[in-house]
Amino acid sequence: NNNNNNNTNTNNTNTDSIREAETEMSVRYNNVCSQLPWPRHFERCAYIGPTVLTWLWKQRAENEPAEQRTEVEARIADVLRAALPALEREAAEGDAIAIDWLAWRYCNGETVPQDPARGAALFELAANHGLAWAQLWTGHRFRDGNGVHANMDSAVMFMQRAVDQGNEEAASDLSELREKLRQQQQQQ
């Protein structure tokens, strides 16, 4: 009987911890949403909310004990799977941000079978819609040959597009790539 009480207390503690985490994530989620540059887009897209919320959950779960992390990861997977139809619908309608999120999922195998080639093609599509982060990630894929054949000219082109939109990480990565290419050229 004492074991039953201990199990009940452990379950209540886990439930309380989960409720506390959900409240914290709700506050953090609202803070993130309020700072995004595209709040109207955010509100109309059924897939972005769950995706950001799961990202926040993942950040918090990194500090949790392994058992609780597993529980959080299972919840994350459920939320992402539930949001997948909306994400695919928005991507099919040409929404660049949805295409970008879907590309990320295929590149990482997040609730879909991992498919770097499909992810790279989707990133390139989002990049061609003018999304700076997708331009950077497409540049990375061409630079590294991840899901596509390595092509330094394409890597430079896509990274430059992201730089032209003010992406500082792209500027840094492009500078490094150009230096590497310059060094390789000098060695030849």
Q: pLDDT tens, 75-130?
A: 777 777 777 888 888 889 898 888 988 998 899 888 889 999 999 999 999 999 99
Q: What is the pLDDT along the chain (188 residues), one digit of tens a residue?
A: 555 555 445 445 555 655 665 555 555 555 555 544 444 444 444 555 566 666 666 666 677 777 766 776 777 777 777 778 888 888 898 988 889 889 988 998 888 899 999 999 999 999 999 999 999 999 999 999 999 999 999 999 999 999 999 999 999 999 999 999 999 999 98
Retrieve residue 178's tokens: 């150009």
Give the pLDDT confidence score for residue 117 in this predicted structure.
Answer: 96
Nearest residue to 75 via CA among 60, 94, 93: 60
Query: Distance of CA 104 to CAs 56, 108, 146, 148, Å?
Result: 16, 6, 13, 15
Nearest-5° Cα angle at 122, 121 to 125:
90
Residue 157 near residue 170 (C-beta atoms within 8 A): no
What's the number of CA atoms in the CB half-sphere (13 Å) around residue 185? 7
Residue 57 pLDDT = 62
Position 15 scores a pLDDT of: 58
Helix%, strand%, coil% for the chain, nearest 5: 80, 0, 20
pLDDT at 27: 56
Q: Which two tokens stand for residue 80?
A: 């992402």
With beta carbons less than 8 A apart as the criterion, state whether 126 and 103 touch.
yes
Q: How far is CA 29 from the centre of its chain?
A: 15
